Amino acid sequence: MAEKETQEKKRIALPITGMTCVSCVAHVTQALEEVPGVTSAQVNLASEQASVEYDPARTSPREMEKAVRDIGYGIGKQTALLRVTGMTCASCVEKITRAVGEMEGVSNVVVNLASGSARVEYLPGVVGIREIKRTIQELGYGAQEALEGEAALEQEKKARASEIRRQLINLAIAWPVGIIVMLGTFRDYWVLPRLVPEFLGNTYLLGALTTIVVAGPARQFFINSYRGLRKGLTDMNLLYATGIGAAYLIAVLNTLWPRAGFGGEKATFYESAALLTGFIVLGRYLEAATRGRTSEAIRKLMRLQPRRARVVRGGQEIEVHADEVEVGDLVVVRPGESIPVDGVVEEGYSAVDESMLTGESLPVEKKSGDPVTGGTLNKTGAFRFRATRVGKETALAQIIRLVEEAQTTKAPIQKVADYVAGHFILGVHLLALLVFVFWFFLGYDLFFRPESGFILSPYTLGSVGVFGFALLLSITVLVISCPCAVGLATPAAIMAGSGKGAENGILFKGADAIEALSRVNTVIFDKTGTLTRGEPSVTDIVGGSLAEREVLLLAAVAERNSEHPLAEAILRRAREEGIDVPQPQAFQAIPGQGVEVGLEGARILLGNRKLMGEKAIAIDSLLPQVERLEAEGKTVVFLARDGKAGGVIAVADTLRPDAPLAIDQLHRLGIQVAMLTGDNRRTAQAIARQAGIDRVLAEVLPQDKAEEVRKLQGERRKVAMVGDGINDAPALAQADSGIAIGAGTDVAKETGHVILIRDRLLDVVAAVQVSRATMRKVKENLFWAFGYNTLGIPIAAGLLYPFFGLVVSPELAAFFMATSSISVTLNTTLLRGYRPPVRRLEAA
Amino acid sequence: MKEKAIRLATLFSFIVASILAGAFFLAASLQDHGALARYAGAVWVFILALIVALPTIAPILKKRLGINKK
């Protein structure tokens, strides 16, 4: 770490980017020295670093960063992804976020409970990754840098196995001992006197057994609470520690001094302390077994990465590890093998199953010149390809990175939940204090009855005194209030949703992208290339004095030497119809009007109305048809042979085949659909009518697209913009949700919040459906999690006691607490089986 | 600086918790509760009040002492 303290001052090394010359050095130096609190700044161009001495009471690296950015330079920040073990609830997330976020040089930290990770953005000259890890470890959690690919899976497997083993050992101690303690405590009830030996009822023995549980499995709660409190932070461990500690302490006092006034020897809460620990440890074990693992989708994607590759080197075919393939290597793929890296086919022909990356169910044909993607499966033939992207650059690696990043971000809804959960601990302790004071001063005298008891327990409260009774309810409030389920509710669903998106060729760039898309009520499609094919094609051929096929033949002859987009459309149609187009004679282009060619002595004219007028060709008989076609937004060209109108050909940019269905499906989701285009209004209206679009934004210049999006947002609409991401990047960025369609496998370069790998409009519908299903799951989870606490806390506080004479025992509270997390996890797993309804339509 | 803030927060929290525990003890004495209930209740109030006070006071002091968040 490049930091040392000089009495009250500090010196740090800031990495500066964007400097090119000595004047840049002067600018940066001046900017830094002008920051109040900075006493000196020395900037080095060669090392691209600024050594800054400052007064930490007056300024911070963040203000220096702002000063440098304000004059157009950057700060070379680094991002580290850490795998964090031992987190159990939202308050752990809050605790780590606060402790790391307060570190000097850390500019952003996002902790994810569900994936057990922390993404930290930091200034490498101010703070190091080792210190960040140490800070997390000092709080009582494990922290190590996350690895990639197979190594990541191995790392995750080891961390999970270690956590599960630790909690299993705790379970193995807590439960058998806890059950013995319970039998001993309840020895006088039901049939137990006949079954349980008398010595087990001895309170000294029970005390000794409970001490094993408190000093063993429960030790983690006391140590972790102490570590947090030392930094002024609280978490769930503190709730457990106070609950278990108080129950144990009172039991010990009642054992040693039964007449001391804590409820006497009949009020030894040993079984509470032991079983409370048992249930909490059981909850932790179940959580470790069901979460903290990379999402199913990422694991599936990681497993796609082939381990071996066959490359041709020195004329020999040799097998190497897939990581050793280099750009430019010739790679050999046989039938049934996975393609190891990205490349372009050089020899051979095959069909490749790309469903794992694109969701496309049909195998895609590959021949010389076609791109192939690493991780996809070669089906039938053998081929050789030249590697173009390897290692971290492959499409598969990019997709994995994108999904991982999405899963380590936080949706806005989660930030609210985390805030609530983070402040929950304080609130719960305050509530426990109020509950204690109420039952101590008022409740006990008003409502206490010795024959009253615990829910689902034969144990009556008997001679419990005022302190013991108030303490019992206070402890139960602490135990039942665990916000574990609140912490899991959002990240678990976001992980499942982003994974589900990846399975369908939909990549969300963050949890906020999922939430934003789920709220969209207006979708704008860019017309050319998104809603339409993006290239003109022949839509109508109308014969006049000539038959339709002859019109097409002669038009193709006339356009044979032209490179105009209309010519390409006519020639493509002629090729499709198997017409052999002969070479014309005497080709002459007439600028702004058309062409004139000769063929076997005949004079052929192809062009617009003006050309026909100038050459005095009568087109009256064709005009009704022409007007109809023009009203449909099509471009019409006239064909004449030897001075007589032969027919017309209409050319237009046509709708993609799936456009009407996609728009209909969006309507069914309650979404208004608009189209944005630079075309004239009549052409745009024609396309809109065919597709069923509600609103047309025509004659919009490319630079004004973002402004149109802004206008719609001004109408309080949540707008998604769908484009190819090439000329509509500002509009995609302006929209609440920018959807880049047809990214193929080069996902890293794409702009937008959501990336659709395939070039299909129905995937827009699928993306909306996945995002809505995910957010629905988030809301369900939050409802259950908060609902559980809302219901549980008043009961634990003794709300039912005046009416039914029943209270919740601390161990039952711990059981409820454990089941709440499990129910949220199980509810989330239902999303794994989700299939966007539009996929069923596609299949049909 | 950060350690100083925590130390000060701990001191203030002790004071706040002690005042509350003392108030509890006085109120319990007025109601004629047994000695152990009074003492033990005051200890429990002290523990809970300390747990509430420490994380509440620590960020305020950190801010006052100029420990910037980033």
Each residue's pLDDT tens digit, B4-37? 777 888 899 999 999 999 999 999 999 888 887 8
Q: What is the pLDDT of residue A261?
A: 57
Q: How far apart are CA A6 and CA A24, in angstroms?
A: 28
Q: How far apart are CA A228 and CA A99, in angstroms?
A: 9
CB A304 within 8 A of CB A338: yes
Q: What is the mean pLDDT of residues A312-336?
A: 87
Closest CA to A517 of A675, A396, A420, A406: A406
Q: Residue B6: its chain A contacts at CB < 8 A?
A: 230-232
Q: How far apart are CA A686 and CA A696, in angstroms?
A: 10
Q: What is the pLDDT of residues A594-632, one digit of tens each?
A: 888 888 888 999 988 888 988 888 888 888 888 888 887
Q: How confident is residue A2, by pLDDT bands cut at 50, 70 and 90?
A: very low
Asked if A232 lies within 8 A of B59 by C-beta distance, the reply is yes
Amino acid, res. A803: F
pLDDT at A146 over 80: no
Lowest-confidence region among A42-51, A368-377, A778-787: A42-51
Judging by beta carbons within 10 Å of its beta carbon (0-12, 13-18, 19+), is residue A378 exposed, middle or buried?
buried
What is the Cβ-side half-sphere exposure of residue A796, based on CA atoms within 13 angstroms? 31
Give the residue, A57 or A294, on which the prediction is more confident: A57
Write the CB contacts of A560 (distance below 8 Å, at least 6 apart in sequence): A567, A571, A581, A583, A584
Who among B24, B40, B48 is closest to A432 (CB)? Answer: B48
Return the residue matching tokens 């994936």: A115
Q: What is the pLDDT of residue A177?
A: 92
Q: What is the pLDDT of residue A332?
A: 92
Q: Bridge-partner residues for A454, per DSSP?
A: A807
Q: Between vectors from CA A837 to CA A836 and to CA A839, what angle results, nearest 5°? A: 70
Q: What is the pLDDT of residue A6?
A: 44
Q: What is the mean pLDDT of residues A33-39?
A: 85
Q: What is the mean pLDDT of residues A724-738?
A: 81
Interface of A with B (CB under 8 A): 56-62, 101-102, 104-107, 229-234, 238, 242, 246, 253, 260-262, 425-426, 429-430, 432-433, 436-437, 440-441, 465-467, 470-471, 474
Q: How confident is residue B2, by pLDDT bands cut at 50, 70 and 90?
A: low
* B57 domain residue, yes or no: yes
CB A830 within 8 A of CB A777: yes
Separation in Å, CA of A288 to nearest CA in chain B: 28
Asked if A436 lies within 8 A of B48 by C-beta distance, the reply is yes
Nearest CA in chain A to B32: A441
Nearest CA in chain B to A425: B52
Write the CB contacts of B19 (distance below 8 Å, at least 6 apart in sequence): none
Q: What is the mean pLDDT of residues A667-695?
A: 88
Q: How confident is residue A183, by pLDDT bands cut at 50, 70 and 90?
A: confident
Q: What is the pLDDT of residue A670?
A: 95
CA distances to A421, A430, A620, B46 from A475, in Å = 19, 12, 95, 15
Q: What is the pLDDT of residue A49?
A: 77
* B22 domain residue, yes or no: yes
Q: Residue A471: its chain B contacts at CB < 8 A?
A: 40, 44
Separation in Å, CA of B15 to nearest CA in chain A: 16
Q: What is the pLDDT of residues A66-114, one digit of tens each?
A: 888 877 777 877 888 888 887 877 778 888 888 888 888 888 888 887 7
Asked if A436 lies within 8 A of B2 by C-beta distance, the reply is no
Give the residue, A257 or B56, on which the prediction is more confident: B56
Domains: count for chain B: 1
Q: What is the pLDDT of residue A3?
A: 44
Q: What is the pLDDT of residues A421-480, one digit of tens each?
A: 667 778 888 999 999 999 999 999 899 888 887 787 666 777 678 888 898 899 888 878
Q: How far apart are CA A667 and CA A768, in angstroms?
A: 12
Q: How far apart are CA A428 and CA A488, in angstroms?
A: 19
Lowest-confidence region among A18-22, A52-56, A468-472, B37-41: A18-22
Q: How confident is residue A294, by pLDDT bands cut at 50, 70 and 90?
A: very low
Lowest-confidence region among A310-319, A537-546, A809-818: A809-818
Asked if B41 lies within 8 A of A467 by C-beta distance, the reply is yes
Who among B36, B54, B65 is closest to A261 (CB)? Answer: B36
Return the residue matching tokens 């918790």: B17
CA distances to A70, B17, B35 from B21, in Å = 53, 6, 14
Q: What is the mean pLDDT of residues A717-742?
A: 85
What 3-state class would DSSP assign to A708? helix
Q: What is the pLDDT of residue A308?
A: 86
Domain that holds residue B40: 2-65
Write the CB contacts of A826 (distance below 8 Å, at least 6 apart in sequence): none
pLDDT at A337 over 80: yes
Who among B34, B45, B69 is closest to A101 (CB)? Answer: B69
* Sign (positive or negative) of CA dihedral A262, A267, A272, A274: positive
Backbone phi, then psi, for A371, in 5-degree steps? Answer: -80, 145
Q: What is the pLDDT of residue A8?
A: 67
Q: How confident is residue A316, by pLDDT bands cut at 50, 70 and 90?
A: confident
Q: What is the mean pLDDT of residues A246-258?
A: 81
Task: Please give the structure tokens belonging to residue B70.
Answer: 């980033």
Return the residue matching tokens 């319970």: A182
Q: What is the pLDDT of residue A11?
A: 78
Q: How far apart are CA A376 and CA A338, in angstroms?
A: 6
Chosen from A54, A234, A437, A481 to mutate, greatest number of chain B CBs within 10 A: A437
Q: What is the DSSP string of A303-316?
A: HHS-SEEEEEETTE
Chosen from A8, A98, A102 to mutate, greatest number of chain B CBs within 10 A: A102
* Sign (positive or negative) of CA dihedral A749, A754, A758, A760: negative
Closest CA to A717 of A740, A692, A734: A734
Nearest CA in chain B to A66: B70
Lowest-confidence region among A44-48, A518-522, A551-555: A44-48
Asked if B6 lies within 8 A of A232 by C-beta distance, the reply is yes
The reply to whether B53 touches chain A by the CB within 8 Å rule is no
Who among B34, B45, B47 is closest to A242 (CB)? Answer: B47
pLDDT at A702 over 70: yes
Q: How far apart are CA A462 and CA A264, in angstroms?
A: 10
Separation in Å, CA of B28 to nearest CA in chain A: 7
Give the residue, A404 or A218, on which the prediction is more confident: A218
- pTM, whole model, 2 decimals? 0.70
Q: What is the pLDDT of residue A819?
A: 75
Judging by beta carbons within 10 Å of its beta carbon (0-12, 13-18, 19+), is residue A375 exposed, middle or buried?
buried
Q: How confident is residue A4, by pLDDT bands cut at 50, 70 and 90?
A: very low
Q: What percent of chain A has pLDDT over 70?
A: 89
ipTM for the whole complex: 0.93
* B61 domain residue, yes or no: yes
Q: What is the mean pLDDT of residues A221-248?
A: 80
Q: What is the pLDDT of residue A290?
A: 59
Q: Between vectors from CA A559 to CA A553 and to CA A565, what angle results, nearest 5°? A: 120
pLDDT at A703 over 50: yes
The strand pair at A316-321 and A308-313 is best described as antiparallel
Q: Residue B40: its chain A contacts at CB < 8 A?
A: 253, 261-262, 467, 471
Return the residue matching tokens 């009407």: A660
Who among A62, A232, A441 is closest to B31 (CB)? Answer: A441
Helices (H), A20-128: 22-33, 61-70, 90-101
The reply to whether B66 touches chain A by the CB within 8 Å rule is yes
Q: What is the pLDDT of residues A758-800, one digit of tens each?
A: 888 999 999 999 999 999 999 998 888 888 888 889 999 999 8
Q: How confident is residue B45, by pLDDT bands cut at 50, 70 and 90?
A: very high
- Rounded to the nearest integer, the mean pLDDT of chain A is 83
Amino acid, res. A226: Y
Q: What is the DSSP string of A709-738?
A: HHHHHHTT--EEEEE-SSS-HHHHHHSSEE
Q: What percent of chain A has pLDDT over 90?
A: 19
Asked if A246 lies within 8 A of B44 by C-beta distance, the reply is yes
CB A86 within 8 A of CB A36: no
The strand pair at A806-807 and A453-454 is best described as parallel
Q: How far apart are CA A769 and CA A668, in angstroms?
A: 11
Who among A62, A261, A429 is closest to B37 (CB)? Answer: A261
* B70 domain residue, yes or no: no
Q: Is A763 a catalytic residue?
A: no
Who among B9, B34, B68 is closest to A232 (CB)? Answer: B9
pLDDT at A153 over 70: no
Tell me which of A526, A653, A728, A763 is the catalytic residue: A526
CB A298 within 8 A of CB A503: no
Q: Residue A246: its chain B contacts at CB < 8 A?
A: 44
Chain A and chain B share a number of CB contacts under 8 A equal to: 100
Q: How far apart are CA A330 and CA A343, in angstroms?
A: 9
**Stretch 29-48 of chain B: residues touching chain A, C-beta under 8 Å:** 31, 33-37, 40-41, 44-45, 47-48
Q: What is the pLDDT of residues A622-641, one digit of tens each?
A: 888 888 888 877 888 999 99
